[in-house]
Amino acid sequence: MEINFDILPKLILFALLLVFAYLYIYKKYIYSVIDPLFIFAITIAFASVLVIQIVQNPLDIMHFFLCQLALWLGFFIGYKKLVITSDSEFTNHQFTDETLLRYVTYLLFCVYIISNLLIAYIKGFALFSEVPTEAKIANFQGGFGFFRKVNWGVGTFVSTSLIFMYLRSKKIINFLLLLIVVFFTALEGSKSAILVIIISAGFILYHPAFHDDRKIIKKFQRFLPISLIGVMGVFFTVLMKENNSFDESIIAFFRRLLYSGDSVIYYYIPVNIEYFSHFSPFDYVSRVTNPILGLFRIQEYKEALGNIMVENLRPPNFTGGVTVGPNTPYYIEGRIYFGFWGALPYSALIGYIYAMIRVHYFSIVKSSSFYFVIISSFCHLISALFTDVNLAITQSFDLFLFVIPAYIVVSLAFTRKIVIKPTFLMSRAKSGFKNDSN
């Protein structure tokens, strides 16, 4: 199964039409172009083109689009039940214990920097390797997975908190520390490394507590194009290192967009369909709990489904480098564990869960500063549900694994108590967000 790149312009045009279609059905819930939901609409549009282009069985194509409909339906129901408003009801946001948050953030910032310096000393920065895409995986294998957990959990929390504190206090130290986090994030070797920081900023800025401050939003929108240029700079730096010329990098860029659903390429091969046909809902329970149970050595870590798909296509006795398989999104994961029709309610459930988590976060009116930031970080990381449920669970667990103990220690040391009292304002509203042009 290979895509025909001779008709690339037509494929891109078709993808753009699908982008508009997906954006239309999700537009009420998208707050900005840096909303993970906006990014999802773009990637799933290109994945849809890939499915139509390479999947031969019409039933499989139908199944893919039925899963997209089910996902949207679950998401719609989640927002329909409790949707937040963006009006004057939200003018009295209050966040307490900002000093406590500052101490927790600075402590975890030190942990983050030490972790990245150690991995750089031992393995080197992935961005400077010959193949950054492989290095970003290989650097954290062989007992170094702890450092990736720090980057996922601590890195996300620290960047989100520094953005929050800077907006609240305007202290330059928080902005400078954020730039340091951005620097180390860019060196991780991921094509979308900087985008992670921008998404964190979006979750804070477009929360009703800050969104009413038009000065902040306008200032952010002025710098957003520069930030996106930085994102593309890192993206093409990685592509240029992995391709022989700029022209090849451009082709690789469009190939990466079209391969947003690259698990489709591997899953619909007969050998993989046969291999995964024996999986059951019981296997799913073992799979989704594996990131947590594996960490505590209660069970062995399981090979990622995407890696298995790739390895099943390799010849016997193959010896090669690092296996970098695709993520396994809901429409494939649901089919593997729950069957052809069972994947539909599974997709709807994924959409519903993510919608409810977003509603929970955007409805916070009063809480401790720490609670607000950690839920913002969680809302960011759990957006990976649309990409790979196991990835979302792993990243979210890493967040709480490192951050909660740090908060408890600092809180008890300075206040001798732990207080988190969030207050929510939810109502049945006609729409979700005030859409922003940027």
pLDDT in tens, 376-415: 999 999 999 999 999 999 999 999 999 999 999 998 888 7
Of the candidates 324, 333, 224, the one whose C-alpha atom is nearest the C-alpha of residue 287 is: 333
pLDDT at 136: 59
Which residues does residue 427 pair with via DSSP β-bridges, in sequence order?
Answer: 83
* Placement of tokens 């991921």 in the chain: 190
Q: Mean pLDDT across the stretch 235-240?
A: 62
pTM for the structure as a whole: 0.85
pLDDT at 11: 75
pLDDT at 89: 47
More confident: 237 or 117: 117
Is the per-residue pLDDT at 419 higher than 90?
Answer: no
Contact 40, 25 (CB under 8 A): no
pLDDT tens figures, 250-298: 555 656 665 556 788 889 888 999 999 999 999 999 999 998 888 888 8
Percent of the chain with pLDDT over 90: 41
Distance CA 142, CA 48 (A): 36
E strand or H helix at 364: strand 364-368
Angle among Cα 389, 390, 395 to the nearest 5 degrees reads: 100
Question: pLDDT confidence of 14, banded at 50, 70, 90?
Answer: confident
The CA radius of gyration of the chain, in Å to the nearest whole number, is 22
Phi, psi of 30 (to 5 degrees): -95, 130
**Where does residue 252 rank: exposed (0-12), middle (13-18), buried (19+ CB within 10 A)?**
middle
pLDDT tens figures, 124-138: 776 666 666 565 566
pLDDT at 428: 39
Contact 406, 153 (CB under 8 A): no
Q: Mean pLDDT across the stretch 188-197?
A: 75
Q: Mean pLDDT across the stretch 149-154?
A: 90
pLDDT tens figures, 89-122: 445 788 888 999 999 999 999 999 999 898 888 8
Is the per-residue pLDDT at 204 higher than 60?
Answer: yes
pLDDT at 242: 60
Question: pLDDT confidence of 15, banded at 50, 70, 90?
Answer: confident
More confident: 434 or 345: 345
- The rounded mean pLDDT for the chain is 82
Is the per-residue pLDDT at 4 higher than 70?
Answer: no
Is the per-residue pLDDT at 328 higher than 70?
Answer: yes
More confident: 139 or 45: 45
More confident: 139 or 29: 29
Percent of the chain with pLDDT over 70: 73
Is the per-residue pLDDT at 227 higher than 70?
Answer: no
pLDDT tens figures, 296-311: 888 888 888 988 998 8
Question: pLDDT confidence of 189, banded at 50, 70, 90?
Answer: low
